[in-house]
Chains A and B, each alone.
Chain A
Amino acid sequence: MDVFFWSTAIFLLVNAFACLYRAYDGPTVVDRVLAINIVVTKTLVVLVLLATVFGRGLLLDVALVYGLLNFVLTVVATRYIETERLTGDWS
């Protein structure tokens, strides 16, 4: 079963590096933000896979914080793209 989880993790890492091409090449800024969002989601799943393989519950907490950070990062980036400032109200 460990071999299966390891191969899934490696498969996801290959996918994540493929998505990094979109972050490098993306014609617009939102493309880059989207690509980084996707890469972080894949990394989160890889962290949970490693936690299952190694039997370390600590990695699950790391994954939780990573997911929250991903969400906050994306929302702040989109807010900045949309309104061109970080404080005050929308529009």
Chain B
Amino acid sequence: MTSLDPIRTAVAVVLVSVGGLFFLIGTIGLLRLPDFFTRTHAATKCDTVGAGSLLIGLAVYDGASTSALKILVLVLLVLVSSPTSGHALARAAYRTGLKPWRAGEEREVS
């Protein structure tokens, strides 16, 4: 078991780094994109993948234990709830009459 520890740590480092990268991309998208629909497109997907990858990395680092199981339950929760809330938000924005941004228009405030 101990001979597998370096491999486990390396896999955890890679997964956590990929998750952090996706979070960074999501933040940039949330701050820079022109209107709400593009922002929810960027932020929701990047958050789902980022949180999923990072949490799976932490579960791998923990090894076979109760906390790894709890982290996997958290991954399941994030994978189900994050796209659902993103969809609900986009639907609410569309139904309340928010117009999508067209190319060539002025960006919204900031």
Contact surface of A with B, Cβ cutoff 8 Å: 1, 4-5, 8, 11-12, 15, 18-19, 21-22, 25, 27-28, 30-31, 33-35, 37-38, 41-42, 44-45, 48-49, 51-52, 57, 60-61, 63-64, 67-68, 70-71, 74-75, 78-79, 81-82
Contact = CB atoms under 8 A, between A and B. Distances in A.
B46 to A, nearest CB: 9
Contact of B47 (A5, A25, A41): A41
Contacts of B9: 1
Given A21-B31, A25-B110, A31-B36, A42 B74 contact: no
Interface in B16-72: 16, 19-20, 23-24, 26-27, 30-31, 36, 39-40, 43-44, 47, 50-51, 54-55, 58, 61-62, 66-67, 70-71
B7 interface: no
Nearest to B78: A67
> Chain B, interface size: which category?
35 or more
B2 interface: no
Contacts, number: 131
Contact of B89 (A4, A19, A27, A74): A74
Nearest 6 pairs between A and B by C-beta? A74-B85, A71-B81, A78-B92, A82-B92, A78-B88, A60-B70
B91 A82 contact: yes
B88 A75 contact: yes
Given A52-B62, A67-B78, 17 more contacts: A4-B13, A5-B16, A8-B16, A12-B23, A18-B31, A19-B30, A28-B98, A30-B40, A30-B89, A37-B82, A41-B78, A45-B23, A57-B67, A78-B91, A79-B92, A82-B92, A82-B96
Interface of B: 9, 13, 16, 19-20, 23-24, 26-27, 30-31, 36, 39-40, 43-44, 47, 50-51, 54-55, 58, 61-62, 66-67, 70-71, 73-74, 77-78, 81-82, 84-86, 88-89, 91-93, 95-96, 98, 108-110
